[in-house]
């Protein structure tokens, strides 16, 4: 354990953790735009700077480990001045369009500018002016809103392992880009949307069918129904309609999703979606109750089994079922029907 | 596999052929008889680009034609005095010829080599004083210099490992491998207090010790040869003129810290250095001085080259490692020390070219010898690339503690064309401008940082009264903005805004608030940038604001550039000297000049586009700008 002093108060924290981690655990709020505990420390936004006694320059709390006897100021006048200047610099090269920006209300830059009293970017000069990349069917990239925190690039490489995007050019002209700047559609992007999920500003935004504001939706936690992994996610519900999905930072997916879970929610409100079982009567499917459907299945199984024996059956189950459901399915075939003719689509 | 005995044998054999040029080291002997004569041609960066290969060939041809015996011709590393290149020295007499063209070769051979008659018209201008002809070491430029890192530059043939060995090359490696244990090497390095020559001045011995004490299955030694400061070519000259000195220093480091793999990270814009390094590595491997079981001692060490792709920031240690690892050259936060977790997460030593070049002499001559040169705090010498408005531009190596005045005036010969000295910029884009009042500051790590500059890697640019200090700050900021990697906000966004403010000031559009803005931006960029590039980026602005604030104020309040350099703030005028020849009016592209023949002409300053065509055309110098 390390004994440290933060803002004049003594604490005992675990050895080997960063100042930012320590502060998070102690409930001391430090702003950051580029930090994500799942990724390697990046130390690019510099918002998390703190003053450490005995050090001339400010240190980023995300990349500095606590040491015994360390004296830290997280909100000294010098620190606040630096944070304000950094936010001013960022905002000076950012569209001032919070009124219409889709991210408004959940934008970290907006939050911190509010917290630190930055009303406008005061530096007058060149501003980013790039075309939007709308080539991906599920999300849009607006480089003009990008603050180059690098989270999207790092999630794509460190967690998703796709390496579809990277940084192009350098200095003021640095831009998140695809190889040869040819656009997302031609890149290796698998549209998992994990970059969209980590973007702290409105640079990476899902393409929306319904317009909604962050404060208009309820977040309902659920399990993704696309496969057996059981990813946890939030359905964004406006009124009685699911208008979006966000990954939940819990097991097993820890904030990640795939293209299906992230963007494949439109079936929920689709008019063709089946909401009851259908039974074919006189050559036509008709809506039925679950009781009717089960009765029909049971009677047909018994009939066929009696006539042709259990091996007349073959079962094929789906990857959209959970492990438990798949287990029950094979159990039903082996024990109930009495055949080993059972398989799963993922094996094909 | 070579043995220590064989190493000594190569030395003895090779020395026989080197006799007369060795007088360059043993100045007492200059002028005495020798068994052979040497025509030494400077192959430094500047001279090499002036066709010295052809000059050498012509010498060889002409000497053969004349049937002269015992005359050796070789191209060696940089002599230092780039201003007057291509330079040639002839030994044993130490005659110093400058600005040699291929047409001059025949005359030198016929007169100097055949008849022992010095060709006076080709002598270096400083090699003649009051009708006396001075040998090269008595020329002012060389008098106060002392060479450790450049010890072999300008003497040995850079393509000859034998000549390097002859001047005790690889003897220091042999000494550490056969006579010293690893801890002893670390102790010598610590005692010598050799401080990193890349700029920051971290004690080399302490750095090595950190890696030496850290247990790991693999350790790396990296030579940082990504020299990128504008106008700096110290490392390049060492690599081109004496590549083996760097290889030997790295191998000694490898032994001391327990590494078997070295990398030289060199910028691809140095193709000559890359070529000579490749040759040197090949030679060292063939001789068993790199590779497995070096000198039969069981020590393994090999070196590979990694070429940089043209980013200045890759000279920063962590960005350099990212680049070697195959990623985008961007600095990474130092959560752990490089000497513990560096390249591929293994203990790594990164030293600069000049630092490694200092290692072998320290091992051979001892820490006490090294400490006897230079100052207590900064022992040894430092190589500087002297440039800008100074007479003798070139490469100099002086003991630490030599004053700026000695370097600029005694060695550099002062400013050009009688213009008044204004400032000297040290440390490149990370350094600051030092005004005249501090000219007597000794050059060492502490003194330079005390006056707002840094030692840096050794760039030294002299500025005279015609240089605008705001414009100089703008120039360096422009470089930094261009070279910022774009990772952290203060450097990416802050330096850009600083540059925009400086541009406005030099264009006459600056406001008083801009000066405050520059100061507050400088503070944030310095205190909160991620790497050294950003942390020092504001130095040129801070130092000029501190020492030349009145120049900034003249631009802002009076819309005037006191140095007469900022184009937008200048106006052209015709003085009474005008003879009315009409040349200016005829040359003006926008017809801004009016006047009758043989009468004084007038420039309409509203129409004038300040192209300067009139000034060039005027036969009597009647046009001035102010």
Give the pLDDT confidence of A93-149 residue by residue, as tens digits: 999 999 999 999 999 999 999 999 999 999 999 999 999 999 999 999 999 999 999
A67 shares its domain with A146: no
- A171 contacts in B (CB within 8 Å)? 481-486, 492, 495-496
- A148 contacts in B (CB within 8 Å)? 486-487, 489, 492
The percentage of residues in chain B with a pLDDT greater than 90, rounded to a whole number, is: 85
Which token pair is A72? 């830290």
Question: Do B521 and A44 lie within an 8 Å CB cutoff?
Answer: no
A304 shares its domain with A261: no
Contacts (Cβ under 8 Å, ≥6 apart) of B509? none
User: Which of B493, B518, B529, B534 to substitute to test the interface with A, most A CBs within 10 Å?
Assistant: B493
A257 shares its domain with A304: no
Over 80: is that where the pLDDT of B592 sits?
A: yes
- A170 contacts in B (CB within 8 Å)? 311, 313, 483-486
Query: How many separate domains does chain A show?
Result: 4
Over 80: is that where the pLDDT of A348 sits?
A: no
Which token pair is B437? 């009042």
Which token pair is A302? 């018994």
Count how many Cα atoms sit within 13 Å of the Cα of residue A129 in the half-sphere of its side chain.
3
Residue A144 belongs to a domain with what CATH number? 3.30.70.20
Give the number of beta-carbon pairs within 8 Å between A and B.
Answer: 109
Interface membership of B119 toward A (CB under 8 Å): no
Q: Is residue A342 part of a domain?
A: yes
Question: Collapsing DSSP states into helix, strand and coil, what is residue A72?
Answer: strand
Q: Is residue A116 part of a domain?
A: no
Q: Return the pLDDT at B584.
A: 94
- A30 contacts in B (CB within 8 Å)? none
Question: Do A57 and B528 lie within an 8 Å CB cutoff?
Answer: yes
A12 shares its domain with A38: yes
Who among A43, A90, A92 is closest to B530 (CB)? A43
| CA-derived radius of gyration, chain B | 27
Q: Where are the domains of chain B?
A: 16-143, 169-371, 381-464, 469-557, 571-625
C-alpha A328/C-alpha B230 separation (Å) is 73
User: Strand pairing of A284-287 and A278-281?
Assistant: antiparallel
Who among B332, B497, B530 is closest to A123 (CB)? B497
Over 70: is that where the pLDDT of B2 sits?
A: yes
Over 90: is that where the pLDDT of A229 sits?
A: no
Counting Cβ atoms within 10 Å, is residue B512 exposed (0-12), middle (13-18) or buried (19+)? Answer: exposed
Which token pair is B197? 């020559």
Residue of B135, B163, B168 whose CA lies nearest to B72: B163
A308 shares its domain with A255: no
Where do runs of H (alpha helix) occur along B193-270?
A: 204-213, 234-241, 243-257
Question: Do B524 and A173 lie within an 8 Å CB cutoff?
Answer: no
pLDDT tens sequence across A149-204? 999 999 999 999 999 999 999 999 999 999 999 999 999 999 999 999 999 999 99
pLDDT tens sequence across B251-264? 999 999 999 999 99
Q: Are A107 and A31 in contact (CB under 8 A)?
A: no
Angstroms from A121 CA to nearest CA on chain B: 12
Q: Which chain A residue shows the shortest CA-CA distance from B517?
A: A123
Q: Return the pLDDT at B33.
A: 84
Who among A62, A90, A172 is closest to B486 (CB)? A172
Interface membership of A339 toward B (CB under 8 Å): no
Contacts (Cβ under 8 Å, ≥6 apart) of B290? B247, B251, B281, B284, B301, B302, B303
Residue of B168, B320, B349 whose CA lies nearest to B255: B349
User: Which of B316, B325, B429, B497 to substitute to test the interface with A, most A CBs within 10 Å?
Assistant: B497
Interface membership of B485 toward A (CB under 8 Å): yes
Q: Is residue A304 part of a domain?
A: yes
Q: Which chain B residue shows the shortest CA-CA distance from A148?
A: B487
Q: Which chain A residue shows the shortest CA-CA distance from B489?
A: A45
Question: Do B335 and A57 lie within an 8 Å CB cutoff?
Answer: no
- A18 contacts in B (CB within 8 Å)? 335
Who among B486, B489, B526 is closest to A170 (CB)? B486
Q: Return the pLDDT at B344.
A: 97
Q: Which residues pair with A219 in a beta bridge?
A: A236
Q: Is residue A113 part of a domain?
A: no
Q: Are A328 and A313 in contact (CB under 8 A)?
A: no
Interface membership of A45 toward B (CB under 8 Å): yes
User: H/E element holding B476?
Assistant: helix B469-483
Which token pair is A206? 């899902």
Q: Which chain B residue shows the shortest CA-CA distance from A33?
A: B489
Over 80: is that where the pLDDT of A253 sits?
A: yes
What's the rounded mean pLDDT across residues A278-284?
95
Domain range enclosing A75: 2-91
A238 shares its domain with A316: no
pLDDT tens sequence across B466-522? 999 999 999 999 999 999 999 999 999 999 999 999 999 999 999 999 999 999 999
Residue A6 belongs to a domain with what CATH number? 3.10.20.740
Interface membership of A16 toward B (CB under 8 Å): no
A145 shares its domain with A200: yes
- B334 contacts in A (CB within 8 Å)? 63
What's the rounded mean pLDDT across residues B392-417?
95
Angstroms from A228 CA to nearest CA on chain B: 36
Top-confidence range, B20-24, B286-290, B571-575 = B286-290
What's the rounded mean pLDDT across residues B64-86?
93
A7 shares its domain with A86: yes
DSSP-based helix, strand, coil % in chain B, nearest 5: 45, 15, 40
Partner A, chain B 453-482, Cβ-Cβ below 8 Å: 481-482
Q: Which residue has the higher pLDDT, A323 or A117?
A: A117
Who among A47, A56, A125 is closest to B497 (CB)? A125
C-alpha B517/C-alpha B230 separation (Å) is 27
Q: Is residue A79 part of a domain?
A: yes
- B526 contacts in A (CB within 8 Å)? 57
Question: Do A65 and B335 lie within an 8 Å CB cutoff?
Answer: yes
Phi, psi (rounded to 5 degrees) for B394? 160, -160
Interface membership of A156 toward B (CB under 8 Å): no
The percentage of residues in chain B with a pLDDT greater than 70, rounded to a whole number, is: 100
A6 shares its domain with A87: yes
- A124 contacts in B (CB within 8 Å)? 500
Residue A262 belongs to a domain with what CATH number? 2.20.25.90
Question: Do A170 and B528 lie within an 8 Å CB cutoff?
Answer: no
Q: Return the pLDDT at B29.
A: 86
Contacts (Cβ under 8 Å, ≥6 apart) of B573? B603, B623, B624, B625, B626
Mean pLDDT of chain B: 94
Interface membership of A93 toward B (CB under 8 Å): yes
A47 shares its domain with A77: yes
Q: Which residues pair with B39 in a beta bridge?
A: B73, B90
Q: Return the pLDDT at A347.
A: 75
Interface membership of A148 toward B (CB under 8 Å): yes
Interface membership of A92 toward B (CB under 8 Å): yes
Residue of B448, B323, B298, B438 whose CA lies nearest to B375: B448
Question: The domain B16-143 belongs to what CATH superfamily?
Answer: Glutaredoxin (3.40.30.10)
C-alpha B350/C-alpha B356 separation (Å) is 10
Contacts (Cβ under 8 Å, ≥6 apart) of B553? B515
- B528 contacts in A (CB within 8 Å)? 46, 49, 57-58, 82, 86
- Considering only the top CATH level, what class is B381-464? alpha beta
What's the rounded mean pLDDT across residues B11-16?
93
Question: Do B520 and A172 lie within an 8 Å CB cutoff?
Answer: no
Q: Return the pLDDT at A111.
A: 97
Interface membership of A113 toward B (CB under 8 Å): no
Question: Do B488 and A92 lie within an 8 Å CB cutoff?
Answer: no
Q: Which chain B residue shows the shortest CA-CA distance from A92?
A: B493
A180 shares its domain with A232: no
Q: Please give the CATH architecture assigned to the domain spanning B169-371.
A: 3-Layer(aba) Sandwich (3.40)
Mean pLDDT of chain A: 95
Question: Do A171 and B488 lie within an 8 Å CB cutoff?
Answer: no
Interface membership of A58 toward B (CB under 8 Å): yes
Question: Do B487 and A150 lie within an 8 Å CB cutoff?
Answer: yes
Over 90: is that where the pLDDT of B581 sits?
A: yes
Question: Do A123 and B500 lie within an 8 Å CB cutoff?
Answer: yes
pLDDT tens sequence across B528-558? 999 999 999 999 999 999 999 999 999 999 9
Q: Which chain A residue shows the shortest CA-CA distance from B330?
A: A170
Q: Return the pLDDT at A323.
A: 84
Interface membership of A174 toward B (CB under 8 Å): yes
Question: Do A86 and B528 lie within an 8 Å CB cutoff?
Answer: yes
Q: Return the pLDDT at B285.
A: 97
Domain covering B571-625 in this structure, CATH number? 3.30.70.20
User: Strand pairing of B348-352 and B291-294?
Assistant: unpaired
pLDDT tens sequence across B122-151? 999 999 888 889 999 899 999 899 999 999
Interface membership of A42 toward B (CB under 8 Å): yes
C-alpha A141/C-alpha B486 separation (Å) is 19
Which of B376-400 are b and which e, b meaning 16 or more Cβ less than 10 Å from the residue's Cβ? eebbbbbbbbbbbbbbbbbbbbbbb
* Residue B102: count of CB within 10 angstroms of its CB: 15
What's the rounded mean pLDDT across residues B331-343?
94
Question: Do B497 and A92 lie within an 8 Å CB cutoff?
Answer: yes
Which token pair is B435? 């005004």
Q: Return the pLDDT at A346.
A: 80
Where do runs of H (alpha helix) occur along chain A?
A: 19-26, 77-92, 108-115, 151-154, 194-198, 259-263, 290-308, 323-331
Over 90: is that where the pLDDT of A290 sits?
A: yes
Question: Collapsing DSSP states into helix, strand and coil, what is residue A336?
Answer: helix
Residue of B251, B256, B262 whose CA lies nearest to B288: B251
Interface membership of A166 toward B (CB under 8 Å): yes
Q: Predicted ipTM?
A: 0.90
A172 shares its domain with A203: yes
Domain covering B469-557 in this structure, CATH number? 1.20.1440.230
Question: Do B490 and A43 lie within an 8 Å CB cutoff?
Answer: no
Interface membership of B565 toward A (CB under 8 Å): no
Question: Collapsing DSSP states into helix, strand and coil, what is residue B322?
Answer: helix
């Amino acid at each position: 354990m390390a004994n440290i002093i933060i803002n004049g108060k003594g604490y005992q924290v675990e050895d080997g953790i960063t100042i930012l981690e320590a502060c998070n655990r102690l409930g001391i709020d430090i702003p950051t735009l580029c930090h994500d505990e799942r990724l390697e420390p990046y130390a690019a936004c510099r918002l998390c700077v703190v003053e450490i006694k005995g050090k001339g320059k400010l240190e980023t709390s995300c990349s500095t480990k606590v040491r015994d006897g360390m004296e830290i100021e997280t909100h000294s006048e010098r620190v606040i001045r630096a944070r304000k200047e950094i936010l001013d610099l960022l905002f000076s090269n950012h569209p001032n369009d919070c009124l219409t920006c889709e991210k408004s209300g959940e934008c970290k830059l907006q939050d911190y500018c509010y917290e630190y009293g930055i009303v406008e970017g005061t530096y007058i000069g060149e501003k980013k002016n790039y075309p939007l990349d709308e080539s991906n069917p599920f999300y849009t990239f607006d480089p003009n809103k990008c603050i180059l925190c690098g989270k999207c690039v790092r999630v794509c490489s460190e967690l998703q392992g796709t390496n579809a995007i990277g940084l192009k050019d350098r200095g003021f002209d640095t831009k998140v880009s695809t190889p040869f700047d040819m656009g997302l559609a031609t890149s290796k992007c698998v549209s998992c949307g994990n970059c969209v999920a980590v973007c702290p500003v409105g640079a990476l935004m899902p393409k929306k069918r319904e317009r909604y504001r962050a404060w208009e939706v309820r977040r309902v936690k659920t399990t993704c129904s696309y496969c057996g992994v059981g990813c946890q996610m939030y359905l964004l519900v406006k009124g009685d309609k699911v208008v979006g999905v966000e990954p939940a930072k819990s097991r097993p997916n820890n904030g990640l999703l795939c293209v299906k879970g992230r963007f494949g929610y439109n079936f929920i409100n689709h008019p063709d979606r089946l909401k009851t079982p259908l039974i074919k009567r006189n050559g036509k499917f008709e809506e039925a109750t679950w009781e009717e459907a089960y009765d029909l299945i049971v009677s047909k199984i018994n009939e066929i089994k009696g006539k042709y024996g259990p091996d007349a059956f073959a079962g094929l189950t789906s990857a959209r079922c959970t492990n438990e459901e798949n287990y029950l399915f094979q159990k039903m075939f082996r024990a109930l029907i009495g055949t080993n003719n059972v398989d799963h689509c993922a094996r094909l | 596999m070579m043995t220590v005995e064989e190493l000594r044998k190569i030395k003895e054999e090779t020395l026989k052929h080197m006799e007369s040029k060795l007088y360059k080291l043993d100045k007492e002997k200059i002028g005495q008889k020798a068994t052979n004569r040497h025509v030494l041609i400077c192959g430094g960066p500047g001279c090499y680009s002036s066709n010295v290969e052809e000059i050498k060939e012509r010498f060889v041809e002409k000497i053969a034609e004349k049937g002269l015996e015992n005359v050796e011709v070789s191209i060696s590393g940089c002599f230092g005095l780039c201003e007057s290149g291509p330079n040639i020295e002839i030994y044993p007499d130490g005659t110093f010829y400058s600005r040699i063209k291929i047409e001059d070769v025949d005359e030198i051979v016929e007169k100097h080599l055949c008849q022992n008659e010095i060709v006076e018209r080709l002598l270096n201008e400083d090699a003649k004083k009051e009708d006396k002809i001075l040998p090269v070491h008595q020329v002012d430029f060389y008098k106060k210099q002392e060479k450790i890192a450049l010890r072999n530059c300008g003497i040995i043939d850079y393509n000859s490992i034998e000549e390097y060995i002859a001047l005790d090359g690889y003897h220091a490696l042999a000494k550490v491998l056969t006579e010293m244990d690893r801890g002893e090497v670390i102790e010598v390095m610590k005692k010598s207090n050799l401080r990193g020559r890349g700029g920051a001045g971290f004690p080399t011995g302490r750095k090595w010790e950190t890696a030496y004490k850290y247990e790991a299955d693999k350790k790396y030694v990296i030579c940082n040869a990504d020299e990128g400061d504008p106008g700096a070519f110290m490392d390049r000259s060492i690599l081109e003129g004496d590549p083996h000195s760097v290889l030997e220093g790295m191998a000694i480091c490898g032994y001391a810290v327990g590494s078997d793999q070295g990398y030289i990270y060199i910028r691809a814009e140095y193709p000559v250095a890359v070529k000579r390094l490749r040759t040197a590595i090949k030679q060292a491997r063939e001789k068993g001085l790199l590779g497995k079981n070096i000198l039969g001692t069981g020590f393994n060490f090999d070196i590979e080259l990694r070429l940089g792709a043209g980013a200045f920031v890759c000279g920063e240690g962590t960005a350099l490692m990212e680049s070697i690892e195959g990623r985008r050259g961007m600095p990474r936060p130092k959560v752990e020390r490089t000497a513990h977790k560096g390249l591929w997460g293994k203990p790594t030593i990164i030293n600069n070219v000049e630092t490694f070049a200092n290692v072998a002499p320290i091992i051979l001559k001892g820490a006490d010898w090294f400490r006897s040169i230079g100052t207590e705090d900064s022992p040894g010498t430092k190589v500087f690339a002297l440039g800008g408005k100074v007479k003798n531009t070139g490469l100099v190596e002086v003991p630490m503690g030599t004053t700026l005045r000695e370097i600029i005036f005694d060695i550099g010969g002062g400013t050009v064309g009688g213009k008044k000295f204004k400032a000297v910029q040290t440390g490149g884009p990370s350094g600051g401008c030092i005004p005249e009042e501090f000219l007597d500051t000794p050059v060492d790590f502490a003194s330079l940082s005390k006056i707002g500059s840094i030692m840096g890697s050794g760039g030294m640019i002299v500025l005279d009264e015609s240089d605008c200090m705001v414009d100089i700050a703008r120039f360096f900021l422009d470089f930094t903005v261009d070279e910022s990697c774009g990772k952290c906000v203060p450097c990416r966004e802050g330096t850009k805004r600083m540059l925009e403010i400086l541009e406005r000031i030099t264009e006459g559009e600056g406001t008083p608030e801009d000066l405050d803005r520059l100061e507050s931006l400088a503070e944030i960029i310095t205190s909160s940038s991620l790497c050294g590039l950003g942390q020092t980026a504001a130095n040129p602005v801070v130092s000029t604001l501190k020492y030349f604030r009145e120049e900034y104020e003249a631009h802002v309040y009076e819309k005037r550039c006191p140095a007469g350099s900022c184009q937008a703030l200048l106006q052209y005028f015709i003085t009474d000297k005008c003879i009315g020849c009409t040349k200016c009016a005829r040359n003006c592209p926008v017809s801004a000049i009016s006047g009758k023949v043989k009468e004084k002409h007038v420039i309409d300053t509203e129409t004038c586009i300040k192209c300067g065509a009139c000034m060039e055309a005027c036969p009597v110098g009647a046009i001035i700008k102010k």
